[in-house]
Structure 1
């Protein structure tokens, strides 16, 4: 995998050339101030497409993580949790910076025998258009690239877009298998390992077949063995450490590792799950800036007094009734894990240098060795983390789901395998923090004990409990990209023991998001949704609010 630093010399030039077009209404005409495609360099195009794709997947993956409690969602009402205008940038990135630039690049590459350039572009387009379907439902595709010939492209059905994506992936595999007259100057993902790209293409097909309920096609790929089954073949984007011009750091690192402290809150649900089960990944996922949270026990077992200024809910004597009924932790966790509950929309107190922030995985922040130092600009690994896109551990959980559809008990081996791969991958990130005391890191005995306890708890659980354990472990392994958690939750409705929203009646869970404001307001063929309960085509579960079980 090549370092993102190379983007400074080539990808940035591509960004200057191809990011100036107005796309509020999908008018994808050429910018008169930029070079035309016929004048552009095919590698500049490819660099820009690769980087913009990573940013798009990172952003939408964060949204999927928020609604499924992997990350914090700060809204007490699902209908208003995400404004349409908040997705305008994602929409522009998807259509202009990724799909259109990929198509323009392909037009140049196909005429010059650059089959591997073409294949990467086809893969990225397939991933991108199915991301759009999974988050928004039916979206423009067939007519979307007509530019000035069609200012109001009609949406295609999600089913048709999935079919087009599968065809793109088949074509990509053919092009990866073909020889090329010249290779891409930079392949940010696999550094020119075309066999690895083929595995990634087949793995993306696995995700699509899982959503489609096409078990036979899924199992056929598994039987062929040519998919991401080992972490060495994981599809991920490697970020850098440069702070400006351009900022190549992991986006979450840039948001949180500032001299003023963290910009986001960590989710109480996942921190509590990991802390109470002795999950060996917790020191990598989270960094604690203090050893105790108000109204909880510190790391030495001493009670920390409530503090109205830094954590006002610590003075609340009675948790919300839905938290009491379900036995969910409210407001404060022991051992210094300082975060927020799902739906906590309170103001921002002076806690930036107190709250728990993301750790060394996946954003290359600080490893939690109980030093409890405040974070600062450049702390830890400096943002040299990854955005995971398709991981071997995720495939194990996909396989667990299919096995459990027939018999919940039969998924255990896949769950253990997925957790094992996830832990091993995460543990390699400790060394990214040069100041970490890795003597405090979990030992192999700690890992073995966690996996043995997971095995025991799974065997002892009811069928619903088995599904809940599977979902908890899947969501934990998805740290860094919650897209598959959002898909899984809509497919299966597990875990049923997810922490509820702080609002007793938050409205129906988001089955798809509002269309971006610019697209809906300027495209007469795209009608804005009345709410967030429209189900994407593959979501065949009962309508909200009866499904999912947890709000």
Structure 2
């Protein structure tokens, strides 16, 4: 569904108003959480415009958080030599703006492409009194679910952040941070209130529901599932968390099937606005792909000795622009792949990790490889048809360009039914219930493959004869279950679950980042090219955004990236997580 076409007129009105106000309003202070003269206020707009903005910005912010979480956990490539310097405080200004309150300016994403946000929490604050006064409880409930997810994610990435004193305008220019545990409690309260509001009668329904198309029962299901996610994330510090998690499972109202999946759908417009999936917009351009794929994940999903045993999802995740990689099927090439002339680092040799290149055209980069960018935009492996709606890999080995494949009409997954089964598997493993963990693992892989393989139809030009058949899919699932059964130790069983979880999380690494800090698995992750200690410790929380510490005297910059969020009581790095 083209989610923005139905509101293109209203979005245009917002843009026109904001542009006009930019020329008449005084200069605003960036992200000090004060009132912003460049934004609409309740007297200038209506609840549907606020709700539209909240929903669209939510998709953008989750996509951005998800990309960062994927990078540090090897689902995506991390373009930096060491953890301490790969991300600067200014890299998070766009997320801070999108989560709290925009200044009306555009921020570049990780590839220099412009992103504009309105500010989810500011819009939610503006919507609440209007919705309450006019009995628009479903408007309010949607914003409460989204706010709950956002504030939990802010804690997961940054730790303690402003919340209770935030967005109070000139009455408090320097809001203090709140303890992350209290923000988690606030999120649970928001979700309970949302569930109550979804059950109320209303005077009018939202003009647009970009997630469940007005099915309020599914919104309640999603709210319950976010509560499960919260309980699981704090199980190390909350003795009641697993009981609360299992109570929702017993009640049965949580995401269990693809039609209940919580996801944001993108469109195909190139301009005014560009509503294509950001991974598509960034990589299907005139100069070819901008990003590198993760060698670790591509290697995990591919079987060089027998491509017929590849993960059934690999042709949907990745589109190979060439069938040969320097150092593998062809001679090393210093210009296009400089590492193909280098020897593998000793810690890669000792650990048996792949280095630099893979077979069969899977052209990516190793974790922490910060070499320059050669002229390989039409050679490196690109994003495929899932989830970014690029090209399905039908072994055509062509360079990719704008308009190819699904034209960007993909999704940003937020909470999928397959992920919930991995959550259930984690709880079962913690309770030493191997049989239940195995069942959940089987369900998770089955649901993930079933969902991903529906995306082939988005690429009308693809030769879908290369899609996996039922026999190949069943064989793959049975082989992964056999790996679990044959595991000699609990560590090995955890690794089977975690590796498959990583594959299913392709498109959003928020939960991978949380899972890794919570459990330390998988232990099989490719380490940085630069060996420890030069890499620094794994990032336990990210630096505060520059706009927060610059404009808020109550918040100081972090001294390092070793500060743990409240639910992370594991050993200090580098002992945990195991891979650096």
TM-score range normalised by the length of the shorter chain: over 0.9
**Which residue is equivalent to 1:390?**
415
**Contact 1:408–1:466 (Cα < 8 Å) also in 2:** no
**2-structure distance, mates of 1:200, 1:361:** 22
RMSD: 1.4
**Which residue is equivalent to 1:45?**
50
**Which residue is equivalent to 1:425?**
451
SS in 2 for 1:319: coil
- 2:547 is equivalent to residue 518 of structure 1: yes
Q: Which moved more, 1:284-293 or 1:1-10?
A: 1-10
How many residues in Structure 1 have an aligned counterpart in Structure 2? 543
**2-structure distance, mates of 1:492, 1:202:** 23
**Contact 2:31–2:97 (Cα < 8 Å) also in 1:** no
Equivalent residue runs for 1:107-506 within 5 Å:
107-213=129-235, 214-276=241-303, 278-297=310-329, 304-316=330-342, 318-407=343-432, 409-410=434-435, 411-462=437-488, 463-505=490-532, 506=535
**1-structure distance, mates of 2:420, 2:477:** 18
**1-structure distance, mates of 2:100, 2:208:** 22
- 2:91 is equivalent to residue 69 of structure 1: no
Q: By how many angstroms is 1:35 displaced?
A: 4.3
**Contact 2:29–2:551 (Cα < 8 Å) also in 1:** no
**1-structure distance, mates of 2:191, 2:16:** 29
SS in 2 for 1:388: strand
**Which residue is equivalent to 2:115?**
none
Q: By how many angstroms is 1:268 displaced?
A: 0.2
Q: By how many angstroms is 1:500 displaced?
A: 0.5
Change in Cα spacing, 1:337 to 1:34, as seen in structure 2 (3 Å) is closer
**Which residue is equivalent to 1:301?**
none
Q: Which moved more, 1:520-529 or 1:367-376?
A: 520-529
**Which residue is equivalent to 2:33?**
27
Superimposed CA distance per residue, residues 247-306 of structure 1 (whole angstroms, 9 cap, x where no aligned partner): 000001000001210000000000000002620000000000001101113xxxxxx111
**Contact 2:2–2:268 (Cα < 8 Å) also in 1:** no
Q: TM-score, normalised by structure 1?
A: 0.97
Q: 1:508 aligns with which of 537, 542, 557?
A: 537
Change in Cα spacing, 1:6 to 1:39, as seen in structure 2 (3 Å) is same
**Which residue is equivalent to 2:106?**
none
Q: By how many angstroms is 1:10 displaced?
A: 2.1
**Contact 1:98–1:125 (Cα < 8 Å) also in 2:** yes
**2-structure distance, mates of 1:63, 1:12:** 30
SS in 2 for 1:237: strand
**Which residue is equivalent to 1:528?**
557
**1-structure distance, mates of 2:144, 2:340:** 51
SS in 2 for 1:452: helix
Q: Which moved more, 1:325-334 or 1:270-279?
A: 270-279
Q: By how many angstroms is 1:28 displaced?
A: 2.7
Q: TM-score, normalised by structure 2?
A: 0.92
**Contact 1:87–1:515 (Cα < 8 Å) also in 2:** yes
**Which residue is equivalent to 1:79?**
84
Q: Which moved more, 1:481-490 or 1:105-114?
A: 105-114
**Contact 1:267–1:341 (Cα < 8 Å) also in 2:** yes
SS in 2 for 1:50: helix
**2-structure distance, mates of 1:188, 1:18:** 23
SS in 1 for 2:302: helix
**2-structure distance, mates of 1:408, 1:268:** 33
**Which residue is equivalent to 1:544?**
573
**1-structure distance, mates of 2:2, 2:444:** 27
**Contact 2:33–2:100 (Cα < 8 Å) also in 1:** no
**Contact 2:31–2:548 (Cα < 8 Å) also in 1:** yes
**Which residue is equivalent to 1:4?**
4
**Which residue is equivalent to 2:109?**
none
**2-structure distance, mates of 1:175, 1:374:** 50
**Contact 2:2–2:266 (Cα < 8 Å) also in 1:** no
Q: By how many angstroms is 1:12 displaced?
A: 4.1
**1-structure distance, mates of 2:179, 2:196:** 26
**2-structure distance, mates of 1:22, 1:415:** 51
**1-structure distance, mates of 2:137, 2:12:** 23
**2-structure distance, mates of 1:4, 1:454:** 40
**Contact 1:261–1:376 (Cα < 8 Å) also in 2:** yes
Structure 2: any 5+ residue segments left out of the alignment?
102-118, 236-240, 304-308
**1-structure distance, mates of 2:551, 2:244:** 39
Structure 1: any 5+ residue segments left out of the alignment?
298-303
Q: By how many angstroms is 1:409 displaced?
A: 2.6
Q: By how many angstroms is 1:461 displaced?
A: 1.1
